[in-house]
Amino acid sequence: MHLDLLKNGVEFCEAGLKQGPKDADLIRLRDSCAEKLAEQQKRRSEQASAPTKSEFNADEAMAVQEQVNSLTEQVESLKSSIMSKQRDQARVKLTKSIVSETPEETKLYTSMGRAFMLQERSVVEKRLSSSLESLDTELPKLLKTHQELEKRRESSEKELKEMIRSLQTHNEQAATASAH
């Protein structure tokens, strides 16, 4: 909801409710996301059917600029998170490959903070598989969210450019009118 990805929020809640159908918090969150999504879609349809606004004021332009800045920050943060997850995924795949190539009698250690602990091969392999599975599930969702945020940012930038052009045209017309 904080990223304004209401459709994704509804989908995630629905997936959660398949696991726990009576979870009151998930039901409330899903309903809240669905309500805000409906309001958002209603506003968009009203804006699409309304005549185009030829003049915008500076306050509206500033609000859109702030939205663009916020979306840009979110996109950059998400890019960083995606890159980190991709590095983790590559590291886990490499580690899993190396573990599978080592002889069965080789002792395996896992990192425990600043120390290492001897672990059974099955525990190490299970932990690596679990980590890889989690990353393989999480990365596509992050990439989809990134695409949606990027589209919203581009849309906001387009709106801002349109406002700026309109304001410039208005100012030029006002300057011309005052010169006469």
pLDDT tens profile 18-71: 988 888 888 888 888 888 878 877 777 776 665 444 455 667 778 888 888 988
Is the same domain home to 131 and 172? yes
Is the same domain home to 82 and 160? yes
Is the same domain home to 144 and 76? yes
Domain that holds residue 145: 61-101+127-179
Is the same domain home to 81 and 141? yes
Q: Which of 6-10, 27-31, 39-43, 84-88 has the highest mean pLDDT?
A: 84-88
Is the same domain home to 92 and 42? no
The pLDDT value recorded for residue 51 is: 45
One-letter amino acid for residue 61 of the chain: A
Helix H or strand E segment including 119 = strand 115-119
Percent of the chain beyond pLDDT 90? 43
Question: Number of folded domains in the chain?
Answer: 2
Buried/exposed 5-34: b ≥16 CB within 10 Å, e otherwise:
bbebbbebbeebeeeeeeeeebeebbeebb
Q: Is 158 among the domain residues?
A: yes
Q: Is 16 among the domain residues?
A: yes
CA-to-CA separations, 145 to 7, 142, 149, in angstroms, rounded: 11, 5, 6
pLDDT band of 90, cuts 50, 70, 90 = very high
Is the same domain home to 24 and 81? no
